[in-house]
Chains A and B, each alone.
Chain A
Amino acid sequence: DIQMTQSPSSLSASVGDRVTITCQASQDISYSLNWYQQTPGKAPKLLIYDASSLETGVPSRFSGSGSGTDFTFTISSLQPEDFATYYCQHYDNLPSLTFGGGTKVEIK
């Protein structure tokens, strides 16, 4: 089974900061990696699919990059509504869908 290791598990940042979250796969997964945002009491929201494609309607301050085993999710300028938990998610042809452990972005 492919394991997804997301880091950090939490971080503190200020409005306007650049925030970076990483997700590492235990083996090569090409570009099969998505990113979600979840605010308390709400369902997750898809932000990035296929490693770097921005979902329709998602602000351009969100971006993703990477391929193979190492992936990065970036918020270029953190906004008040961005304080949330972010998850990476891998998919493959087994098929299997696996989520990372999550990164909680908190107000500094």
Chain B
Amino acid sequence: QLQLQESGPRLVKPSETLSLTCTVSGASIRSSSYYWGWIRQPPGQGLEWIGSIYFSGTTYYNPSLKSRVTISVDTSKNQFSLKLSSVTAADTAVYYCARLKGGWLQAFDYWGQGTLVTVSS
């Protein structure tokens, strides 16, 4: 059974960098059939795609966040990570990692439970 688990600091100060890691278990992140991605959801609001990565390291980002986002992959640990720089209170959200089915950036079929990250001094 595929499982994804987000980990990282739950509290980040304004102007600093938010860092999260997604650990994948039950399947290899090196599978050629899947991309992996990050999505966030501010409290009481809708969903926003942040970006996605392939095991080779190919990345795609939401243009609205592209200047601040870096997503990387560590196949030896079966993990992928998110860094979001220069955060503000508007970046407070539940951050989810997920798998994309369809061999492309198509649909998120497996999700982590999500982790709430608060930006506050």
Contact = CB atoms under 8 A, between A and B. Distances in A.
Contacts of A43: 96, 98, 111-114
A91 B47 contact: no
B105 interface: yes
List the 9 closest A-B pairs by CB distance, nearest first: A43-B111, A97-B49, A99-B47, A49-B107, A34-B107, A95-B105, A102-B46, A46-B109, A95-B60
B106 interface: yes
Contacts of A66: none
Q: What bracket does the count of chain A residues touching chain B fall in?
A: 20 to 34
Q: What bracket does the count of chain B residues touching chain A fall in?
A: 20 to 34
A45 B31 CA distance: 22
Contacts of A87: 46-47
B52 to A, nearest CB: 8
B114 A98 contact: no
A63 interface: no
A95 to B, nearest CB: 4
B27 to A, nearest CB: 15
B104 A95 contact: yes
B62 A96 contact: yes
B113 A91 contact: no
Given A49-B107, A50-B106, 18 more contacts: A36-B47, A36-B108, A43-B98, A43-B113, A43-B114, A44-B47, A44-B111, A49-B106, A49-B109, A87-B46, A91-B104, A91-B106, A95-B104, A96-B49, A97-B49, A97-B52, A97-B62, A99-B49
A63 B102 CA distance: 19
Nearest to A45: B111
